[in-house]
Structure 1
């Protein structure tokens, strides 16, 4: 009997830890915020020695890293499906901003393709975050939840295909005549447009 009581108490304690997600205390959160700010200032200071687009890329990387760290910190401090989604979204946005900035080193169609590729990667990351959010949301019934997740996955797949098509079609712009027409037709076929 005493062993059973100990097991119940241990299970209750483990359940408590599982539901809190080992959330941070207010003091731990404040210390982590200060660390994020200090790291951002240090990384931004390193960018000062660079010039032109290399400096811009460095600054975007530092800013993006700070935004991701803040979102991750909030997800740790107040764990929730919404906070996890915001952290994924922050990561997608930061990666996109850096990728776009790197495209500035290019020109003409190569730059356009680079931007479209960055956008396609951004759309994929955002849609994956939406699917993860849908999977983490509670549902009225298991069937409702499954239907919601399936619908979110379907919408995500369509958005990803559209972004991939736009990137593929942009590659075709450097071509002309029959070669360009074939390239566009291949892109349409590949991405079911």
Structure 2
């Protein structure tokens, strides 16, 4: 749940306002810089993990990988700026944190390990379900907003029927401009 809220807020903010835009050259530069920072941080953390042995090392490596996946996916989603990219980022981040949870469970034995793995799986499934549900919610809100605009456009066109000639043409043009039709 750690990173999911931040991505959900970013995702919903971009899509509920309907402001998905194409990637700009500045966005590409920011994306590449974020990926480079993530790669550098990953290498640094892996080097620190090399000093540890056993299961703590496995956990350290899994956390380093998860942090890199998190940074890469957030950067990619922000760069693409699409609902699909944000959803995919959340799913991949959830999978990366699932790997961390599995590494933590590896230190346990018996029923404790089984319970830990089931909890990790439940957390993964919940994060995936939340990501998909958020996507569907945002899509539904966008569809509803589009339906409302279409209905308002039809009302505006109907009001234009009260005019004739150039006045009607001006009214129709104004309605088309206002509602983006």
Alignment match of 2:112 (pick from 82, 107, 110): 110
Larger radius of gyration: 2
2:21 maps to 1:20? yes
| 1:59 corresponds to | 61
Alignment match of 1:37 (pick from 22, 36, 39): 39
Q: Distance in 1 between matches of 2:143 and 2:23?
A: 28
Which sits farther off after the overlay, 25-34 or 79-88?
25-34
Q: CA deviation at 1:136?
A: 2.2
| 1:125 corresponds to | 127
TM-score by length of 1: 0.60
Q: Distance in 2 between matches of 1:18 and 1:129?
A: 20
Q: CA deviation at 1:27?
A: 2.1
Once the two structures are superposed, the pairs formed by residues 23-172 of structure 1 within 5 Å of their partners are: 24-137=26-139, 142=144
Q: CA deviation at 1:25?
A: 2.5
Q: Do 2:23 and 2:80's aligned partners in 1 also have CA atoms closer than 8 Å? A: no
Q: Do 2:66 and 2:96's aligned partners in 1 also have CA atoms closer than 8 Å? A: yes
Q: CA deviation at 1:26?
A: 2.1
Q: Secondary structure at the match of 1:20?
A: coil
Q: How many residues align?
A: 127
Q: Distance in 2 between matches of 1:106 and 1:89?
A: 26
Q: CA deviation at 1:141?
A: 5.2
Q: Distance in 1 between matches of 2:35 and 2:129?
A: 28
Q: Secondary structure at the match of 1:44?
A: helix
**Unaligned segments of structure 2, at least 5 residues:** 1-17, 148-181
Which sits farther off after the overlay, 19-28 or 46-55?
19-28
- RMSD between aligned alpha carbons? 2.5
**Unaligned segments of structure 1, at least 5 residues:** 1-16, 146-193
Q: Do 2:34 and 2:71's aligned partners in 1 also have CA atoms closer than 8 Å? A: no
Q: CA deviation at 1:137?
A: 2.2
Q: Distance in 1 between matches of 2:68 and 2:127?
A: 18
Q: Distance in 1 between matches of 2:107 and 2:116?
A: 10
